[in-house]
Amino acid sequence: MKPCNQCGKCCINYSNGGLSATADEIEYWELFRPKIARYVSNGSIWMDPSSGAQLEICPWLRRTEGTEKSKEIYSCDIYHDRPNDCKAYPADLSQMINDECEMLEADDIDNPKHGNARLKLIMSDSWSSLPYE
Ligand code: SF4
Ligand code: SF4
């Protein structure tokens, strides 16, 4: 298991209707992060502030061009205020295999027990900030 390389696949795959936010998160954004709350409509994220329609791609996903030596990387403009759904990703090996997450290494698939243990270690900070952890 490698650390996240910011390939952006998860954000790209899930931002078009695959993410949700809790009522508490939305209330927090409304009170303290109105810029984020603009992209919520009827409890759903991420929605066009003008039309209320589902956006194809998350408005907070930032793409940085790669160089000859490095490939492009993606980052989150609201990293510390991102939804718990985003903080929880990746949740387990099967999700990573399904999504072709680039944290995976061959050994994780050959030995899922150890793969999941390594994932737990890498994700400990992120998961510990979740309300149900
Ligand atoms: S809010 Fe951030 S982490 Fe979540 S999909 Fe958007 S860019 Fe990715
Ligand atoms: S798919 Fe995996 S490696 Fe790529 S950005 Fe998401 S968590 Fe990181």
Domain that holds residue 62: 9-128
Mean pLDDT of the region 39-63: 97
For residue 71, tell me if it sits in a domain: yes
For residue 93, tell me if it sits in a domain: yes
Q: Which residue owns the Cα nearest ligand 2 atom 2?
A: 101
Question: Ligand 1 mean position to 105 CA, how many Å?
Answer: 24
How many domains are contained in the chain? 1
pLDDT tens across 78-112, in order? 999 999 999 999 999 999 999 999 999 999 999 99
For residue 110, tell me if it sits in a domain: yes
User: Does the Cβ of 101 fall within 6 Å of ligand 2?
Assistant: yes
Question: Ligand 2 mean position to 31 CA, how many Å?
Answer: 30
For residue 97, tell me if it sits in a domain: yes
For residue 112, tell me if it sits in a domain: yes
| Nearest ligand, CA 91 | 2
- Containing 75, the helix (H) or strand (E) segment is strand 73-76
- Containing 61, the helix (H) or strand (E) segment is strand 61-64
132 — pLDDT class (breaks 50, 70, 90):
low
For residue 53, tell me if it sits in a domain: yes
116 — pLDDT class (breaks 50, 70, 90):
very high
For residue 99, tell me if it sits in a domain: yes
pLDDT more than 90, % of the chain? 89
Residues with CB under 6 A from ligand 1: 11, 15, 58, 60-61, 76, 78, 82, 86
For residue 40, tell me if it sits in a domain: yes
d(CA 15, CA 25): 17
